[in-house]
Amino acid sequence: MRIQSLLFAVVVASLAPAAELPGLQVSPNKRFLVTTDGKPFFYLGDTVWELFHRSTREEATRYLENRASKGFNVVQAVAIAELDGLTDPNAYGHRPLLDRNPERPDVQDGPANDYWDHVDFVVQKANSLGIYVGFLPTWGDQWNDRGKPPAIFTQKNAEAFGEWLGRRYRNAALIWILGGDRSIDTAAHRDILRAMAVGLRKGDGGSHLITYHPNGGAGSAEALHSEEWLSFNMRQNGHTAEHTGRYDKTAFDYGRTPIKPVIDAEPIYEDHPVSFRADELGHSIAADVRRPLYWDLFSGAFGHTYGHHSVWQMYSSIRKPINRPLMSWDAALDQQGATQMQFGRRLMESRPFLTRIPDDSLIVAAPYLSAMPGTGRYHFAATRDEKGSYAMIYAPVGRAFSVRTSKLNATKIVAWWFNPRNGDAVKIGVYDNSPERQFVPPNPGEMMDWVLVLDDASQNYPPPGK
């Protein structure tokens, strides 16, 4: 079978043209991602697990063009998909493997005659639009079946499949994401993942980063932090709207040693049943997906992933719904939360990027911590430049708060309100630095979030987000 895999590699070598996008690597301080020429890379991801499995080429193009227009630069998709990806054919009647065997990818002659030809098209189209693919070789049920139909991966065939994939997509702009919503429960599970990582690096020559997508409420660091192949940590803080007990774990992973970058790759999806309790808590709204964006970023995450409950499953009226989607995938493309994610990226990119650190001590605590910095949906979070040239405080509600402005290395401070809902910035004023200063968001008492941006006036930074 190894000979067969190598023959496949020769056949498909020409199918993945050299990507025009630069490669990605971990930054020298181990906190962020940068391009191979050293430029900061803000990972703004979108969740579309079923893209390879359920889209036509026309649908994939529509989806990718929409996401590119909204500033997304990563899409996360699964090759052997979650929703019966082994037996349910794709839109063209093709399946990924022969006889459910990872050492026998179903590859036929010609450019559009098999499942992998469609994957090629999607990857190439994404790259042409400036989008990297967060590429999951398989969903987790195929290596940790949890008592369902038996998983297909072993240590041996995982390495062979990984090597085949690595060779096929050696020149594509992507990030390998192992896992697929599963915990590592046994030594055999760890061996399978390690073997797949070894195979991927054999195949692509180590040209891509590798991470791991865990189960809900967990992070890759819990079982894999010391693994050499794990380039950065990925969390699935999950589908709750509360900071406490979920999104606060991003800061915990940020503080681990040895240092590795961290990102929340599955926060609550827009229009998803909150905490999977739709009858009790309803479905999430745009504000519920904005809050984790800033909570995670201000806790030290190097980027963020958005998701919509209809988009991840490419839901339409002809498909069985998974957990109460509210609309079709194409109707969901322009939901408010999807549009608003780019404003967070623009904000972070408008200030020095690679020197940013989390620092909630900027916020003056109230006698009751539940009031300030707040708990649940009302948690305030702060970040700053390590040299003190700027600071940002996220206010999820219009509650007055005080900031230790003396933590900025500035004689005079320029203050701004940044609106996470539309990306606009309004200058508040210029102040002499002082130990503390109180600020009141423009909509006091309302469920409208804001970001306070404080700059060292001598730096002459542009308006936040510009």
Per-residue pLDDT tens over the stretch 67-115: 999 999 999 999 999 999 999 999 999 999 999 999 999 999 998 999 9
The pLDDT of residue 268: 98
Specify whether 117 is located in the same domain as 216: yes
* 332 shares a domain with 364: no
Residues 147, 73 share a domain: yes
Range of the domain at 455: 356-459
User: Does residue 465 belong to any structural domain of this protein?
Assistant: no
- Look at residue 264 and tell me if it is in a domain: yes
Per-residue pLDDT, 361: 97
Residues 397 and 286 in one domain: no
To which residue do tokens 């939360």 refer? Answer: 337
CATH label of the domain that carries residue 29? 3.20.20.80
In single-letter form, the type of residue at position 326 comes to L
Does residue 28 share a domain with residue 13?
yes
Question: What is the per-residue pLDDT for 148?
Answer: 78
| Domain end residue (candidates: 349, 379, 402) | 349
User: Would 113 be classed as within a structural domain?
Assistant: yes
Q: Which of 319, 349, 379 is the last residue of a domain?
A: 349
> Same domain, yes or no, for 417 and 377?
yes
Q: Please, what is the Cα angle at 309 between 308 and 314, to 5 degrees? A: 90
Residue at 200: amino acid letter:
L
The answer to whether the beta carbons of residues 179 and 223 sit under 8 Å apart is no
Domain shared by 274 and 372, yes or no: no
312 and 444 inside one domain: no
The answer to the question of residue 466 being in a domain is no
Distances (CA, A) of 34 to 43, 208, 303: 10, 12, 12
DSSP string covering 324-386 = ---S-HHHHTT-HHHHHHHHHHHHHHTS-STTEEE-GGGBPPPSSTIIIII-GGG--EEEEET
Does the residue 464 lie in any domain? no
User: Are 201 and 61 part of one and the same domain?
Assistant: yes
Q: What is the largest CA-CA distance in the chain?
A: 71
Same domain membership, residue 244 and residue 172:
yes
Return the CATH number at 389. Answer: 2.60.40
Which among 349, 383, 404 is the end of a domain? Answer: 349
* Alpha carbons 383 and 394: distance in angstroms, whole number: 9
- Is the pLDDT confidence value at 222 over 60? yes
φ, ψ of residue 97 in degrees (nearest 5): -130, 155
234, 368: one domain: no
Question: What residue type is 423 in one-letter code?
Answer: G
pLDDT at 51 over 80: yes
Q: What's the pLDDT score for residue 20?
A: 86
Does 54 reside within a domain? yes
Domain co-membership, 309 together with 382:
no
Per residue in 6-29, pLDDT (tens digit) is 434 433 443 444 448 999 999 999
- Which strands form 233-236's sheet, in the order they lie side by side? 218-219, 233-236, 262-264
The mean pLDDT value for 291-302 works out to 98
> Residue 111 falls within a domain, yes or no?
yes
- Return all residues near 97 (Cβ < 8 A) that are at least 6 apart: 80, 86, 104, 105, 106, 152
Whether the predicted pLDDT of 5 surpasses 70:
no
Q: Which helix (H) or strand (E) holds 46?
A: strand 43-47
Contact 336/308 with Cβ under 8 angstroms?
no
Number of domains composing the chain: 2
